[in-house]
Chain A
Amino acid sequence: MRALMVALAAVALTLPAAADEKPVELKKAPGLDTVEANCSGCHSLDYILMNSPYPNAALWNAEVTKMIKTFGAPISEADAKVIEDYLKKNYGS
Chain B
Amino acid sequence: MLTRRHLVGAAGAGLALAGSGMSLRTAAAAGGLELPAALPQGLRDHVVLDALPGKKPLIKLSYRPPNYETPIEYFRTAITPNDAFFVRYHLSNIPEVDAKTWKIEVGGDGANGRAEFTLDDLKRLPAVELVAVNQCSGNRRGLFQPHVPGVEWGYGAMGCARWKGPRLKDLLDKAGLKKEAIEIVLEGADGPVTDKTPDFIKSIPVWKAIEDTTLVAYEMNGAPLPHLNGFPARVIVPGWTGTYWMKHINSISAVTKPDSNFWMKSAYRIPLGKFPLVARFTSQDSAVNTPISEMVVNSLITDPVDGATVRGTPVKIGGIAWDGGYGIRTVEISSDGGATWVEAKLGEDLGRFAFRTFSYQLSPKGAGKQTVMARATNKIGQTQTAELIHNPAGYHHNVIQSITFNVA
A20 and B18: CB pair below 8 A?
A: yes
**Chain B 22-63 near chain A by CB (<8 Å), digits 1 or 0:** 110100000000000000111101110011110000001111
Q: Name the segment of B9-17, B245-253, B314-322 touching the other chain.
A: B9-17
Tell me, yes or no, whether B241 is within 8 Å of chain A by CB. no
* Chain A to chain B contacts (Cβ below 8 Å), 17 pairs: A11-B2, A11-B10, A16-B14, A17-B17, A18-B17, A19-B20, A19-B22, A19-B51, A24-B46, A41-B194, A42-B192, A44-B62, A46-B63, A49-B45, A50-B151, A54-B146, A91-B42
Report Cα–Cα, A12/B25, bound state, in Å. Answer: 20
B266 touches A70 (CB 8 A): yes
Instruction: Please give, as numbers and ranges, the residues of chain B lying within 8 Å of A17 by CB-CB distance.
Output: 10, 13-14, 17, 64-66, 92-94
Q: How long is the Cα–Cα vector from A41 to B92 in the complex, in angstroms?
A: 9
Which residue from B13, B20, B43, B262 sits with its C-beta under 8 Å from A70?
B262
Q: Could you list which residues of chain B lie within 8 angstroms of chain A, going by C-beta atoms? A: 1-2, 7, 10-11, 13-14, 17-18, 20, 22-23, 25, 40-43, 45-47, 50-53, 60-66, 92-94, 142, 146-147, 149-152, 192-198, 262, 266
**Inter-subunit contact B197/A72 (CB<8 Å):** yes
Nearest residue (CB) in A for B146 is A54
B196 contact from A11, A46, A72, A91, Cβ within 8 A: A72
Interface residues of A in 34-90 (CB under 8 A from B): 41-44, 46-55, 59, 63, 70-74
Let me know if B23 and A20 touch, CB within 8 A.
Answer: yes
Smallest Cβ-Cβ distance to B152: which chain A residue: A50
Q: Is the CB of A54 within 8 A of B40?
A: yes
6 other contacts beyond A16-B18, A19-B53, A50-B43, with CB at 8 A cut-off?
A11-B7, A21-B64, A50-B42, A52-B40, A54-B146, A73-B197
Q: Are B65 and A43 in contact (CB under 8 A)?
A: yes
Expressed in whole angstroms, the Cα–Cα distance for A11 and B6 within the complex equals 11
How many residues of chain A get a CB closer than 8 Å to chain B's CBs? 37
- Given A11-B7, A41-B193, do A46 and B23 touch, yes or no (CB 8 Å)? no
A41 partner residues in chain B, CB cutoff 8 A: 193-194
User: Is the Cβ of A51 less than 8 Å from the Cβ of B42?
Assistant: yes
Q: Cα distance A57–B103 when bound, in Å?
A: 47
Taking a contact as CB atoms under 8 Å apart, the answer to whether B65 and A53 are in contact is no
Cβ-defined contact, A46 with B61, below 8 A: yes
Question: Which of B13, B50, B61, B198 is the one whose CB lies under 8 Å from A50?
Answer: B61
| Pairwise interchain contact A53-B41, C-beta atoms closer than 8 A | yes
Give Cα A48 to B42, complex, Å.
8
The 3 closest A-B pairs by CB, nearest first: A72-B196, A52-B42, A50-B43
- Chain B residue contacts of A15, Cβ below 8 A: 7, 10-11, 13-14
**Known contacts A11-B10, A71-B198, A51 near B152 by CB under 8 Å:** yes
**B62–A46 CB distance below 8 A:** yes
Chain B residues contacting A52 (CB-CB under 8 Å) are 40-42
CA of A15 to CA of B65, assembled, Å: 12
- B40: chain A residues at CB < 8 Å are 50-54
Contacts of A12 in B (CB 8 A): 64
Query: Contact partner of A54 among B147, B151, B195, CB < 8 A?
Result: B147
- List chain B residues, Cβ under 8 A from A59: 149
Asked if A8 CB lies within 8 Å of chain B CBs, one says: yes
**B46 touching A50, Cβ below 8 Å:** yes
Q: Write out the residue numbers on chain B whose beta carbons fall within 8 Å of the beta carbon of A63.
A: 149
**Chain B nearest CB, measured from A62 CB (Å):** 8
- Closest residue of chain B to A43 (Cβ to Cβ) is B64
Whether B194 lies near A8 (C-beta < 8 A) is yes
Chain B nearest Cβ from A56, distance in angstroms: 10
The complex places the Cα of A42 from the Cα of B195 at a distance, in Å, of 11
Shortest distance from the beta carbon of A73 to any chain B beta carbon, whole Å: 8
Decide yes or no: A47 and B62 within 8 Å by CB, A7-B2, A22-B25, A52-B42 being known contacts.
yes
| B108 CB to nearest A CB, Å | 26
User: Which of A17, A24, A51 gathers the greatest number of chain B CB atoms within 10 Å?
Assistant: A17
Contacting residues, chain A, for B149 (C-beta < 8 A):
51, 55, 59, 63
Distance (Å) between the CB of A71 and the closest chain B CB?
5
Residues of B within 8 A of A72 (CB): 194-198
Q: How far is the CA of A49 from the CA of B60 in the complex (A)?
A: 12
Name the distance in Å between A80's Cβ and chain B's nearest Cβ.
15
CB distance from B153 to the nearest CB of A (A): 10
- How near does chain B come to A92, taking the closest CB pair, in angstroms? 11
Tell me the bound Cα distance from A41 to B193 in angstroms: 8
Give Cα distance in the complex from A91 to B251, angstroms: 40
Residues of chain A with a CB closer than 8 A to B41's CB: 52-54
With A17-B66, A19-B22 as known contacts, state yes or no: A43 contacts B92, CB within 8 Å.
yes
The distance from the CB of B156 to the nearest CB of chain A, in whole angstroms, is 14
